Amino acid sequence: MPDRELTVFHLYADTLNLYGDFGNVQALRRRCEWRGIGCRVENVGIGHAADFRDCDLLFVGGGQDRAQSLVADDLVKHGEVIRERVEDGMVALAVCGGFQLLGRSFLTSEGVTLPGIGVFAADTVAGTGRLIGDVVVDCGATPHEWLRDGGDATLVGFENHSGHTRLDPGLEPLGRVVCGYGNEGAGSFEGAVYRHCIGTYLHGSLLPKNPWLADRLIATALEQRFGTGAPFPPLDDRLERLAHERAVAHCRA
C-alpha cells in the first residue's frame, strides 16, 4: 500500500468530456502511480452527494452548451463548498466548459445565461463563430510561483470554443498566447489562475502533452495534504517532451 494517496474528484465525467479531457485524469493517476503515490478517482455526477473536504484535486472537463446547461444548476449546489475549498488551497483544473462554469456566468449563443459558481472573477459570452485550432501558451511570466518549474513553461493544446471570456482586473491569466486565439479570440491571453485553481480552453488532452503542469498540480496537492518535504522523484519524460516540442513547432509553422 502506498504511504501517500491523493483523491481526485472528476466532476460530470459522463457529460463534460470533449476532445480527450478524460485523459487528464488518466495522466494524473499514472504519474502518481509511477512515483508510488496512490490516486483515488471519484466520479461526481449530477445529483451525487460528495464531501469536497476529501478532495485534493478537482477536475472539470468541457462540453457543448447543452451539456453545460445540464450540469450548471447541479454545480451551483456545490458552489459554496468548492469556493471554500479553493480558498483553503485545494488544487483544481477546469477545461473549456468547466472553465466557463467556474466563472460567474456564461451567456450562450441562444441567449440563455448559465450560472457559474464564481471561483474565477470572469464572465463568458458566446461569439458568432468558433475559435478552433492548435494553441501554444507561454506561462513563463506567470506571477504564480507554484506554477514555475524553472524550465520551459510552455503549454500546448487544442481549442474549440465560441466563448469569449473576460477576466476582471486583478485576475491573472494562465499565460500569453503565442499561437491560437485564447480567452477573447484576440490571441492575447489564455486561461486564468486563482490560488491553486486553473481554468483553460486547452483540450487535447492537456496534461499528457504538458507533463510539467501535471506534476505541478500533483506536487501542490501533495503539499496541501501532507506538507512540504515529501519525496517527489522526477520521471523520464523524454517522449512527452518530444511530443510537446513537435506540437510547438507545428503550431508555429
* Catalytic site residue from 10, 161, 164, 203: 203
39 catalytic? Reply is no
Ramachandran angles phi, psi of 162, nearest 5°: -105, -10
Widest CA span in the chain: 52
* Catalytic site residue from 32, 39, 96, 139: 96
96 catalytic? Reply is yes
Residues marked as catalytic: 96, 203
